């Protein structure tokens, strides 16, 4: 897919087929996250990739909006330090947003769907992923082949009108 088509085709996919991702596909998605920009290039992230069904099921319980993880082909947990400083937390969150979207667009480019999940139960996430105490999972991004319909550029996305959002020169 062209980059522009991948950007327009990406949407949150919450129902997946049973088809696994190939190692090549997974490697491409992870490399996209690895290449993401970050503040001062500090790369605050670690990515824990999960493909085992039972582990995915357990991860789907970390937040009530994470049920879709149970049926995904893979999930990538976005792990950072549990920063004491609010500024560090804020910058890390911005950086993780960039890494997330980069992985999601790379997936869309391959026709692979993706979805976000917040994480509420840190103890559960930590146990399932075997994380050290000092780390937290900020978000989980899951991936798989869409069960509803293939990805294709969305002509009319559910967004505020472009002209309302974009301000030229002045507010
Ligand atoms: C920071 C963030 C957290 C999100 N958390 C969840 C979540 O916990 N569960 C979920 O199903 N979707 C989650 N979403 C997906 C949004 O609901 C979705 O991106 C938004 O409705 C726009 O739809 P689209 O991604 O299909 O364009 C999250 C998205 C973002 C950016």
DSSP 53-110: HHHHHHHTTSSTT-GGGGG-SEEEEEEEE--SSHHHHHHHHHHHHHHHHHHHHHHHHT
Q: Compute, in angstroms, the gap from residue 169 CA to the centroid of ligand 1.
A: 30
Domain 3-150, classified CATH 3.30.70.1450, yes or no: no
Q: Which residues line ligand 1 (CB under 6 A)?
A: 11-12, 14, 63, 65-66, 68, 115-118
pLDDT digits (tens, 9 = 90+) for 14-59: 999 999 999 999 999 999 999 999 999 999 999 999 999 999 999 9
Distance (Å) from CA 51 to ligand 1 centroid: 21
Domain boundaries, the chain: 3-150
Is pLDDT of 121 > 80? yes
- For 106, the token pair is 């790379």
pLDDT in tens, 78-108: 999 999 999 999 999 999 999 999 999 999 9
Beta strands in the chain (DSSP E): 46-50, 74-81, 113-118, 135-144
Nearest CA to ligand 1 atom 8: 117
Residue nearest to atom 15 of ligand 1 (CA): 116
Mean pLDDT of 108-135: 97
The yes-or-no verdict on residue 1 having pLDDT over 80 is no
**The overall pTM is greater than 0.95:** yes
Instruction: Locate the ligand 1 atom nearest the alpha carbon of residue 63 and give its number.
Output: 8
pLDDT recorded at residue 99: 98
pLDDT value, residue 86: 98
Nearest residue (CA) to ligand 1, atom 14: 116
From the list 21, 3, 17, the residue with the least C-alpha distance to 108 is 3
């Amino acid at each position: 897919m062209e980059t522009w088509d991948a950007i327009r085709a990406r949407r949150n996919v919450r129902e997946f087929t049973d088809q696994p991702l190939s190692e090549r596909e997974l490697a491409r998605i992870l490399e996209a996250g690895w290449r993401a920009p970050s503040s001062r290039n500090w790369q605050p992230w670690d990515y824990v990739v999960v493909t085992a069904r039972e582990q995915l099921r357990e991860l789907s319980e970390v937040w009530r909006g994470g049920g879709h993880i149970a049926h995904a082909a893979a999930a990538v947990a976005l792990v950072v330090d549990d920063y004491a400083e609010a500024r560090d937390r804020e910058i890390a969150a911005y950086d993780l947003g960039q890494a997330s979207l980069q992985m999601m667009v790379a997936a869309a480019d391959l026709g692979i769907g993706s979805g976000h999940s917040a994480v509420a139960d840190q103890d559960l996430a930590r146990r399932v992923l075997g994380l050290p105490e000092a780390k937290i999972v900020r978000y989980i991004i899951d991936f798989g082949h869409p069960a509803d319909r293939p990805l294709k550029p969305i002509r009319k996305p559910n967004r505020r009108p472009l002209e309302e959002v974009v301000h030229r020169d002045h507010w």
